[in-house]
Amino acid sequence: MTGVSFNLSSVFGTVAAAVPDQTFLVWRDRRFSYAEFDRRVDGFANFLVSAGLGVHAERDTLAGHQSGQDHLGIYLRNGNEYLESMIGGYRARVAPYNVSFRYVEDELIYLLNDSKARALVYNTEFAPRVAAIRDRAPHLQILIQVADDSGHALLPGAVDYEAAIATPTPPGGRPDVSGDDLYILYTGGTTGMPKGVLWRQHDIFLSSMGGRPFGSDKALASYEELAEKARSAGGAMSMLMIPPFMHGAAQWAAYNAITMGGKIVIPDDVERLRPADVLRLAERERVLSIPVVGDAVARPLVDEIEQGDYDLSGLFTVSNGGAALSPTVRARLLKALPHIMLLDAVGASESGAQMSTYTTAGESTPEAGPGARLAAVFTPQPDTAVVAADFSRVLSPGEGSGWLARRDLIPLGYLGDAEKTARTFPTIDGVRWSVPGDRANVLPDGRIELLGRDSVTINSGGEKIFVEEVERAILAHPAVYDVVVVGRPSERWGSEVVAIVQLAEGASASDEDLAEVCGRTVARYKIPKAFLREPKIVRSPAGKADYRWAKTVATGAVATRS
């Protein structure tokens, strides 16, 4: 463990002081240096402090599921304002958190009331929705509206964002930030209601946001070391940010770039993925790294790369997290870009980044067959393990299946939920672990095979079936563009496997074709009893499958295979 206590405001401020003139963020016609961005962060923090927001109880007086800070909802699409308001919140000792821009009114009310948010920063396009619910969120007092081209007026009582960041330093100054201050990340809510995960900023920084090199247990020892790391990188790091900042992995990726004094490039269109525009931007800015979220992002990109003519020689890494890459898309990416390294990372809101695996064009990347399952085998970080199914002990290499878990740098708990906090963060052999709910096998060589989230596992005919494994098998068919697998009630099986398939444009595949390719890599009892076609698979803005939607589709259809 490191002796210094890191906080996310000072991390950015340290890098900004070390490399003030380097470009930090590029979006549309905006290009901000670190120093310019830091001044805007200051202004937003000044506004929050002047409005009376901040800390009301220090961390050492609180239980793990409690917060002593005011909360700021960030209801924004990607743009400079997202990171400005997030870091500005940290600088004011206000705890910002992510709000999905896809939420309808009832979901928004739930989130604002669950978090007891006192402030909300939002794009003008969402102003009508905010106006409709503001009276049903009794804690909400401060509205900050970010201008866009939607044409909606500034809401009564709201403050224009640019006016807010022009706020001077308050007479009493800003509070001293702390590594104990909260980092709050709400879960996606694709299988249940969203929950606010509470982290100490120091812990999430070391766990997932650049405080230690990924895969290493050696953390940064001081802010001086951080500054030197940023200076020595020479501005070489450049990251094209496609995933929304409302997804934890995007926030983590951004801070990893920050620790290297890197540049973050945001596509012009933040409402939909335009592959040609994105790749031209990557070419223009000579990006080094592109994070993706499974096939939903990677497949349109590789389609365009194969058709177009792009100079992506500066690209070094495509990193994937949050959703699986199919063997087919993985192979196509490495064929189209043979010079890159493909990084698959595993993590969760409740655990941070835990495991990874690297693939290059020189390695085997089977499109189907027995080797396809290797896409789910990862090298764990030193603090990641598999614990027994009954939570009694930590499993040794080769002992088989249990729960994927992490110790040491883990969250404090779930906001307002002591019971779920105790369940998810049990103490095993005197050590507190984070066990979010993923099933896994620990292999004889110490690597870990990820089986899948227990909450979407299907129990069919007495057998446990992990949907991610079946999805990977179906995605090996070249006609399949996207797929989600769920269970639905069955008189014969108790629950039966159903695949909801989105075919590639102009492609076709029979149920028999899909069952045949699926049977190459999974046992017969795991092959779906029904294949349903949908024009588009519904996913979260972060690319995660919406299993609640999929259940509704699956239970609305009745025809099954024998």
Could you read off the pLDDT of 120-134 as tens digits, one per residue?
999 999 999 999 999
Task: Give the per-residue pLDDT at 542.
Answer: 72
Q: Please report, for the domain that includes residue 514, its CATH number.
A: 3.30.300.30
Lowest mean pLDDT among 64-73, 300-309, 553-562: 553-562
pLDDT at 306: 96
Does 332 score more than 70 pLDDT? yes
Q: Residue 366's pLDDT is what?
A: 43
Asked if 528 and 421 sit in the same domain, the reply is no
* Same domain? 500 vs 431: no
Residues 168 and 194 in one domain: yes
Q: Is 458 exposed, middle or buried (0-12, 13-18, 19+ CB in 10 A)?
A: buried
Task: Specify the pLDDT at position 18.
Answer: 99
- Whether 446 and 478 map to the same domain: the answer is no
What residues make up the domain containing 194? 32-212
Same domain, 72 and 181: yes
Kindly report the pTM of this predicted structure: 0.89
> In the listed set 212, 241, 271, which residue is the last one of a domain according to the structure?
212
Any idea which of 88-92, 99-103, 429-433, 542-546 has the lowest mean pLDDT? 542-546
Considering 46-60, 289-303, 321-335, the range whose residues carry the highest mean pLDDT is: 46-60
**What pLDDT is attached to residue 431?**
97
Q: What is the pLDDT of residue 110?
A: 95
Residue 509 lies in a domain: yes
Residue 189, pLDDT score:
64
Instruction: Please state the domain count of the chain.
Output: 3
480 contacts 511 by C-beta, under 8 angstroms: no
84 with 165: CB under 8 angstroms?
yes
Q: Are residues 94 and 153 in the same domain?
A: yes
Inside any domain, residue 157: yes
Instruction: Specify the 3-state DSSP secondary structure of 526.
Output: helix
- Pairwise CA distance, residues 391 & 6, whole Å: 32
Any domain includes 334? no
Residues 55, 181: contact at Cβ < 8 Å? yes
Name the pairing type of β-strands 95-98 and 71-75: parallel
Residue 400 sits in the same domain as residue 493: no
Confidence of residue 362 (pLDDT cuts 50, 70, 90): confident
Is the pLDDT assigned to residue 229 strictly greater than 90?
yes
411 and 523 both lie in a single domain? no
Cα dist from 278 to 130, 190, 234, 240, 305, whole Å: 31, 27, 25, 8, 11
pLDDT of residue 371: 40
Please report how the helices 248-259 and 201-208 are oriented relative to each other, as an axis angle in degrees rounded to 10.
80
**Amino acid making up residue 369:** G
Supply 489's token pair: 């009630």
Burial bucket for residue 422 (CB in 10 Å: 0-12, 13-18, 19+): middle
Helices 34-50, 80-91: crossing angle, 10 deg rounding = 60
Give the tens place of pLDDT for each residue, 243-301: 999 999 999 999 999 999 999 999 999 999 999 999 999 999 999 999 998 888 999 99
Q: Does some domain include residue 21? A: no
Helices 34-50 and 8-18, axial angle in degrees (round to 10): 140
What is the per-residue pLDDT for 41?
99
Same domain, 462 and 449: no
- Specify whether the CB–CB gap between 287 and 25 falls below 8 A: no
State the Cα–Cα distance between residues 326 and 314, nearest whole angstrom: 25
Is 12 inside a domain boundary? no
Domain end (from 178, 212, 246) = 212
pLDDT value for 389: 93
> Are 463 and 450 in a shared domain?
no
Domain co-membership, 52 together with 143: yes
Report the CATH number at residue 118.
Answer: 3.40.50.980
> Is 203 found in the same domain as 86?
yes
Q: Which tens digits make up the pLDDT trace of 154-173?
A: 999 999 999 999 999 999 99
Q: For the domain that residue 420 is a member of, what is the CATH number?
A: 2.30.38.10
* Integer Cα distance of 39 and 16 in angstroms: 10
Q: Give the length of the chain.
A: 562
Residue 341 bridge partners (DSSP): 317, 360
Q: Could you tell me if residue 255 is inside a domain? A: no
**Which of 171, 197, 212 marks a domain boundary?**
212
Q: Determine, yes or no, domain membership for 316.
A: no
On whether residue 497 sits in a domain, the answer given is yes
Across the range 430-455, mean pLDDT stands at 92
Q: What string of DSSP letters covers 139-185?
A: T--EEEEE--SS-PPPPTT-EEHHHHTTPPPPTT-PPPP-TTSEEEE
